[in-house]
Structure 1
Amino acid sequence: METFLAVAEERSFSRAAARLHRTQPAVSQAIAKLEGELGEVLFERSSRDGTLTDAGEVLREYAAKLLNLRSDAEGALSELRSLHRGRLNLAANEYTCLYLLPLLDEFRRQNPRIKLAVQRTLASRISDEVLMHSVELGVLSFRPDDTQIKSTVVYRDELAFVVNPRHPLAGVGKVSIRQLGAQNFIAHNVPSPQRQKVIQTFKRHKTPLNMGVELPSLEAIKRFVQMGNGVALVPGLTVRPELESGALVRVEVAELQIERKLRLVHRRQANLSHAALAFLKVVEDYAAAHGDPYCFQAERGA
């Protein structure tokens, strides 16, 4: 199309050849091939000035559009490479989304033209969303089993036992798990590996775990405990503001020192977008600058 348009604009095969830095026979051959593919004669052979036939006039308009579209596409890809446009889709649940906030803030500072979309997804579904190409990156609090998923540990958290400031245990500082048998726990009603670990730990220590109330969100659990309704075990990351303000009090439980590692996951064989690669670089740099609990460690075999 570029050769055809050059001949049409220059009205000469020889001038078109010079413009394209090709030989005249090569230009003539390219035009002949195009005519053969289209089944139409594009130039009046009786004319020496490259006069177009009716078919050539029709094609000229479309050729110009195609070359303009190619130029637009090249420009768009250049903008994508330079992160002047693009979109990054991530999946996280209520808890892991909190980890993302400072990183999204830093990413937006560096790449303000990239659109970010965080899809709230059950942790059990995030690997599937990644594999189905619904999102490029996901955040998990457990190591995925699927070998098609690559995971990198990016944050270390731990389970926190919290009570409201008026609770009898608020001033104790540290308790044994056996002292919690009579407590009313406000629990998260979403199944997870961490919930099972807690249940098994109480069983192992022959201590009842009374989950008198189950709520659908961590935010609701925190507020209910603040109101004086029982106690809770929640990820430390989710209660940092309340602990700092004194709205909740953390009490150490030696038998419940359960670490939670957050992981960024993506398809192992994925050709990640420029935006996704830039985000991973932000995560790595942020961990290097801030240190623990932030980190950036690929899991062995992951």
Structure 2
Amino acid sequence: MHLTLRQLNIFQAVATHLSFTRAASELHLTQPAVSMQIKQLEDNIGLPLFEHLGKSLYLTHAGEELLGYCERISEQLRDAEDAFENMKSLTCGKLKVTVASTANYFAAKLLAEFSQQHPGIKISLKVTNREQLLKDIKSNDCDLVIMGKPPAEFDVEATVFMENPLVVIAPVNHPLSQQKKIPLSVIANEPMVVREKGSGTRFSIERFFLQRGHELNVSAEMSASEAIKQAVSAGLSMGIVSSHTISLELEAGKLTVLDVEDMPIIRHWYLVHRSDKELSPIAQAFSNYLLSVNNYKDKIIKRCSFSK
């Protein structure tokens, strides 16, 4: 059985008025056109929907049954229309965001603030490593990704929305903790705990040192900022991490940030999605929110298309 919404709309109009003429007038169709659509509908169903008794038109039992279905379909279509309007007005819907593990230190707060402005929106936050970030972008398994280094493997649109300063941290009792403008050459001679090779943070640190004629003295590699902070706090050596990850440790007096010449190393956080993806109104609203709260609203936004 093959029915179309057009046929059901015409049937519902005829059934409501019990008149082909009035239904045709309401739908701005000719009466023969209405009659033809009803005939095709009856042929598809295999049962008569109307019967003529004298000059009056009546619904058959099949017609009464179909009218009930039409009314329920119309109600569902109205519900769907209302749902779409609510999504456009940001009163309901879903937002799926995947973030790099380091970004979780601020991403959860930003999402919570956005959620308070739009309480009807359901938010899904996934915190993961770079490999999974790339998979989520490629498979279109999320609306937006927050990461520090956009991929070069495939086309994405990446928007800078916040600075990501990298700083040198040390135990609070470290001999250098009271010095000002520590030369980078001094830091280069100190053993350093840093992220693993292949990470965007590690790449930025090594490039920063090499551009200034120094080589990084790596004493240990860690796969997460938490591990680096714990190692430094325990006195293993100094480390370099994003300043966004250490607010609690600084307040608790467990770590200190050294005053090093030419530092911090300024990286950026990017909001990333596939270049062929059209953002939903909700995702676009969150993107605008990030740019606004991080004072990028009135600045030139750096949009980049990365490809092979």
Partner of 1:9: 16
Structure 1 pair 240–296 and aligned structure 2 pair: CA distance change class (3 A) = farther
- Please point out which of 141, 157, 164 is paired with 1:134: 141
Q: Which structure 2 segments of 5+ residues have no match?
A: 1-7
- Please point out which of 129, 137, 156 is paired with 1:149: 156
- Please point out which of 127, 133, 155 is paired with 1:120: 127
Partner of 2:66: 59
| DSSP-derived class of the 1:50 partner | strand
If the length of structure 1 is used for normalisation, what is the TM-score? 0.84
109-118 or 18-27: which moved more? 18-27
Partner of 2:3: none
Looking at structure 1, the residues matched to 259 and 131 of structure 2 have their Cα atoms a distance apart, in angstroms, of 29
Partner of 2:283: 276
- 2:238 matches 1:231: yes
Looking at structure 2, the residues matched to 228 and 271 of structure 1 have their Cα atoms a distance apart, in angstroms, of 49
Looking at structure 1, the residues matched to 252 and 300 of structure 2 have their Cα atoms a distance apart, in angstroms, of 30
Per the TM alignment, residue 30 of structure 1 is displaced from its structure 2 partner at its CA by 2.6
Letter of the structure 1 residue corresponding to residue 265 of structure 2: I
267-276 or 180-189: which moved more? 180-189
Per the TM alignment, residue 234 of structure 1 is displaced from its structure 2 partner at its CA by 0.4
Looking at structure 2, the residues matched to 208 and 24 of structure 1 have their Cα atoms a distance apart, in angstroms, of 85
Partner of 1:299: 303
Looking at structure 2, the residues matched to 197 and 108 of structure 1 have their Cα atoms a distance apart, in angstroms, of 33
Structure 1 pair 133–173 and aligned structure 2 pair: CA distance change class (3 A) = same
138-147 or 39-48: which moved more? 39-48
* 1:126–1:138 Cα contact (<8 Å) kept: yes
Looking at structure 1, the residues matched to 236 and 38 of structure 2 have their Cα atoms a distance apart, in angstroms, of 82
If the length of structure 2 is used for normalisation, what is the TM-score? 0.83
Partner of 1:167: 174
Looking at structure 1, the residues matched to 150 and 265 of structure 2 have their Cα atoms a distance apart, in angstroms, of 15
Looking at structure 1, the residues matched to 216 and 26 of structure 2 have their Cα atoms a distance apart, in angstroms, of 86
| DSSP-derived class of the 2:158 partner | strand
Per the TM alignment, residue 271 of structure 1 is displaced from its structure 2 partner at its CA by 1.9
Per the TM alignment, residue 121 of structure 1 is displaced from its structure 2 partner at its CA by 2.2
- TM-align CA RMSD: 2.9
Looking at structure 2, the residues matched to 150 and 181 of structure 1 have their Cα atoms a distance apart, in angstroms, of 36
Please list the CA deviations of residues 9-38 of structure 1 after superposition, one character each: whole Å capped at 9, or x if unmatched: 333323434554555344323312322444
Per the TM alignment, residue 125 of structure 1 is displaced from its structure 2 partner at its CA by 3.4
Looking at structure 1, the residues matched to 89 and 154 of structure 2 have their Cα atoms a distance apart, in angstroms, of 32
- 2:93 matches 1:86: yes
Per the TM alignment, residue 70 of structure 1 is displaced from its structure 2 partner at its CA by 1.1
Looking at structure 1, the residues matched to 281 and 216 of structure 2 have their Cα atoms a distance apart, in angstroms, of 51
Please list the CA deviations of residues 237-283 of structure 1 after superposition, one character each: whole Å capped at 9, or x if unmatched: 21244345543221133366532111101121222111101111212
Partner of 2:4: none
Looking at structure 2, the residues matched to 290 and 4 of structure 1 have their Cα atoms a distance apart, in angstroms, of 53
Looking at structure 2, the residues matched to 72 and 105 of structure 1 have their Cα atoms a distance apart, in angstroms, of 28
Looking at structure 1, the residues matched to 52 and 256 of structure 2 have their Cα atoms a distance apart, in angstroms, of 91
Please list the CA deviations of residues 133-185 of structure 1 after superposition, one character each: whole Å capped at 9, or x if unmatched: 10011112113314521011111122100111111111123333443456443
Per the TM alignment, residue 48 of structure 1 is displaced from its structure 2 partner at its CA by 4.0
Partner of 1:209: 217
Letter of the structure 2 residue corresponding to residue 232 of structure 1: G
| DSSP-derived class of the 2:301 partner | strand
Partner of 2:81: 74
* 2:159–2:304 Cα contact (<8 Å) kept: no
| DSSP-derived class of the 1:133 partner | coil
Letter of the structure 2 residue corresponding to residue 210 of structure 1: V
Structure 1 pair 147–207 and aligned structure 2 pair: CA distance change class (3 A) = closer
- Please point out which of 13, 31, 42 is paired with 2:49: 42
* 1:11–1:50 Cα contact (<8 Å) kept: yes
| DSSP-derived class of the 2:278 partner | coil
Q: Which structure 1 segments of 5+ residues have no match?
A: none
Aligned residues: 298
Per the TM alignment, residue 289 of structure 1 is displaced from its structure 2 partner at its CA by 7.8
Partner of 2:199: 192
Looking at structure 1, the residues matched to 296 and 152 of structure 2 have their Cα atoms a distance apart, in angstroms, of 31
